[in-house]
Chain A
C-alpha cells in the first residue's frame, strides 16, 4: 500500500485575526502519511495558528486545508478525528485517568469492554498501567503529559497534533519524553504534526522540520539538511550556532564566490542565494566547521585574536575577533594539544569555501 504523499495539505492558506495583519501568508505545506513533521519557529511566527487551523479551532481566511484528500474547512473539530496534545495537557481535572482516556471512546459509543482494552493498550504505550483511578492533579507533570499523549492516541486517529507538549517539563524529563514520543510514533506509524520553538527538540524527533518565520515556511526539510544546508540566513541563524560575515559579492564562478567583507578581507564562499557580482550577502559558517591551525590547505585561512575562552567540559568555546566579527565562535574538542589556547593569543583558523554559505543579506 503506497503512502499518501499529501496526507495533510495546506493549499495557499492565509490567516488574519484582525483584518490588518496576516499571521499566516500563502502557506503551502504537504505532509506525508506516517511522517513526523515539526513546525519550528519563534513565537508569533504563525506555527500554532497553523496547527489550530488543522485542528479546526481556527478557520483559514483564505485557501483550503486537505486531510486525506478531503477539504476539511467545513468540518467541525469533533468530526475531524484528529488527536491533539495541548500545551498545558488539558486533562479534564474532574475525571480520573481512566475517564479521561475513555472520553473519546465513550462519545464514539464504543462498547465498554472494547474501550477498556483500548484504554489499557494506550496506557501501556506510555507505561502508566495501574494509574487508571488517579486524578490528574495527583500526577506529576511528566505523568500528566503521558496521559495527554495516551488520550490523543486512544481512539486510533490517523493524525495527531502536538502543541508544544513538553514546554512545561524540566530539561531531563523533556529529553526522555522526546525519545518516548518518537518511539511511540515509530511503533504505531501515526502521522504527527508537532509544534515547538525548541530547536533541539525539533532536530531530535522529526522526520522533517518546517521552519516558520513571519507567517511563512522558510524551509521544509530533514533535520540534517536543515542544519547543514540552510537556504536563508534566518534558518541559518535560528537552527544551531552560526558565525556570520556581512559583505558584497565580488566574483561568482561555479561552486565558489568571492565575498569582500566590510573589514576589507576577501573570503571564498559557497553561493546559495547570490546570483551575481555586487550582491549583498551574509556568509554563514557553523562554528564546528572552522579548524584551528589546519594541517591541510583550506580555502580560507585567517588569523584571529582570542577574546574569551569558555570551558564547557567536553569542548571549549572560543570567542574571537575574526575579520571584523567580534562574536566569532569556535568550538574545539578538549584535548591536551589545545592547552595553549589563552585569551589574547593570535591563532590561525581555516575553513572550506563549501562550508561558508553565502545567503541572503539580513
Chain B
C-alpha cells in the first residue's frame, strides 16, 4: 500500500531523516537572518510602534487627576457638578502642588480650552488656604470660571486615556465642547494647505524627474559601454555628494544675486532691479528636489530599459511601424515596470522630504515634514508630531496600495 512508511537505508523513516538533514541548513539560515531581523525590529518596528502609540496617548492628565475624573464619571454635564467632584479636585490639585508637577496639566488643559492656564495657576496658588468642607463654594470664590459649565465639561473631556484629537488637528479639525467634530477657524487652517502643498510638490517633482530621467535612461541603456559608464557616473555623482552640500550649492545658484538670476537678467527676461525670486519659495523646492531625486528615477528606468532587446525595436520597424508607433506600442509599454518603480520611489521620497524644503523652501515652500520637525524640536508637541508622521505613513501606504491595485506590485522592477 502507498501509505506504508518509506524508510531510508538505515531504517529511520525518510521524513525524519530528511528533517534531520535539513535542520542544520535551517539553523544556519536563521542565524544569518537574525542580525537583520533584530536591526529592523529595533530601528524600524519599535520606533514606528512608539510613534503610533504616542500619537493617541493621552494618559498623562488621566494619571494626574485620578480622583477628579473618577468623581466626574457620575456627572451628566447638564448642571454644575456636586460637592464630591470639587472635593476630589481639591485633593488632586493639593497633591500636584505638593509635588510641584501641576505645570504639565496646565498646557494640556489650556490646549483643550484657553483660559485654563490662569485658572489653574490662580487656584493652585490659593489652594493651601482652603478650609475643609464646602469646596465648591471656595473654588468658585477663587475663580469664577470654576462656576462656568463649559470649563468643567472641557475638564471632563480630557478624562479618556486615548484620544485621536491630534489627528483631527492635523486635518484642521477639532472637537467642540459637545464632542462634535468641527473645522477650526479659517485663519488657523494651516495643515490642510501644507498637505495639499506636499502632495502637489511630490506630484510635480515626480513628473519633472520622469521627464528628465526617461531620455537619460534610454541613452544609458543604448549607448556603448564606455560612454554609458561615464554617463552613469554623472548620474550617480550627486549620490556621492552630501545632501547638504548639494542643497547649499542650489542656494548659491538660485539666490537673487546668483548666477541663474544673472543669466536671466543678461538674457533680458527680467530687469536688474526686479530679479525673480527663485529661492525660499516653491520654485526652489521644485528645482532642488528634482535634481536630488533624479537618480532614484533613472536607476529603475535604466535597469528595465537595459533588459529590452534592441531587436524588438528593429522588429517593430521592419514590420512597418514608424519609429514613433514602435516607441509608443512596443518600447513604452515595456518600460512601464520601471516607470512605476521610479515614480513610486520618487513620490514617496519627496512626500517626506525634509532638508531641502527646510533650506530652500522658505515659508511658502515648506512641507509637512518641516512642520513635523518644528513640533519635534520647537513646540515639543511630540504627540502631534507623531500623529502627523502616522498620517504621512498611512498616506504612503495608501499610495502603495492604489499602485498595487492599478499596476500590480509584481510589475515593479528596481534592478
Contacts and interface: CB of A to CB of B under 8 A. Distances in A.
Interface of A: 55-57, 76-84, 86-88, 90-94, 103-104, 107-108, 151-152, 155, 161
Contacts of A81: 320
A78 B330 contact: no
A155 to B, nearest CB: 7
Q: Which of A56, A80, A90 has the most CB of B within 10 A?
A: A90
B318 A87 contact: no
B333 interface: yes
Contacts, number: 67
Given A57-B317, A76-B323, A78-B318, 10 more contacts: A77-B317, A78-B322, A82-B318, A84-B319, A88-B311, A90-B312, A90-B315, A94-B334, A104-B320, A155-B319
B314 interface: yes
Interface in B316-365: 316-323, 325-326, 329-330, 333-334
B304 to A, nearest CB: 12
Interface in B284-313: 309, 311-312
Q: Which of B315, B316, B322, B334 has the most CB of A within 10 A?
A: B315
A79 B322 CA distance: 8
B315 A84 contact: yes
Given A57-B314, A88-B309, A104 B319 contact: yes
A78 B320 CA distance: 4
A55 B314 CA distance: 9
A78 B312 contact: no
Given A90-B312, A94-B334, A84 B320 contact: no
A92 B330 contact: yes
Contacts of B322: 78, 107
A78 B329 contact: no
Contact of A90 (B311, B320, B323): B311
8 contacts: A55-B314, A56-B318, A57-B314, A77-B317, A78-B323, A88-B309, A92-B312, A103-B316
Interface string B236-254: 0000000000000000000
B320 A107 contact: yes
Nearest to B334: A94
A118 B330 CA distance: 21
A108 B315 contact: no
A107 B311 contact: no
Contact of A78 (B309, B311, B317, B334): B317
Q: Which of A56, A92, A151 has the most CB of B within 10 A?
A: A92
Contacts of A78: 317-323, 326
A353 B309 CA distance: 53
A55 B318 contact: yes
A108 B322 CA distance: 10
B313 to A, nearest CB: 9
Contacts of B319: 78, 83-84, 103-104, 107, 151-152, 155
Contacts of B312: 90, 92
Contacts of A56: 317-318
Nearest to A94: B333
Contact of B314 (A77, A108, A151): A77
Contacts of B311: 86-88, 90
5 closest Cβ contacts across the A-B interface? A104-B319, A90-B315, A84-B318, A90-B311, A77-B317
A102 to B, nearest CB: 10
A239 B333 CA distance: 45
Contact of B320 (A55, A88, A94, A108): A108
A86 B315 contact: yes
A152 B311 CA distance: 14
Contacts of B330: 92, 94
A199 B333 CA distance: 39
A83 to B, nearest CB: 7
A104 B318 CA distance: 9
Q: Which of B309, B318, B322, B330 has the most CB of A within 10 A?
A: B318
Nearest to B308: A93
A103 B329 contact: yes
Nearest to B319: A104
Contact of A83 (B318, B325, B326): B318
Q: Which of B323, B330, B334 has the most CB of A within 10 A?
A: B330
A108 B333 CA distance: 20
Nearest to B314: A57
Contact of A103 (B321, B323, B334): B321
B318 A77 contact: yes
Contact of B321 (A57, A90, A94, A107): A107
B267 to A, nearest CB: 38
Interface in B151-205: none
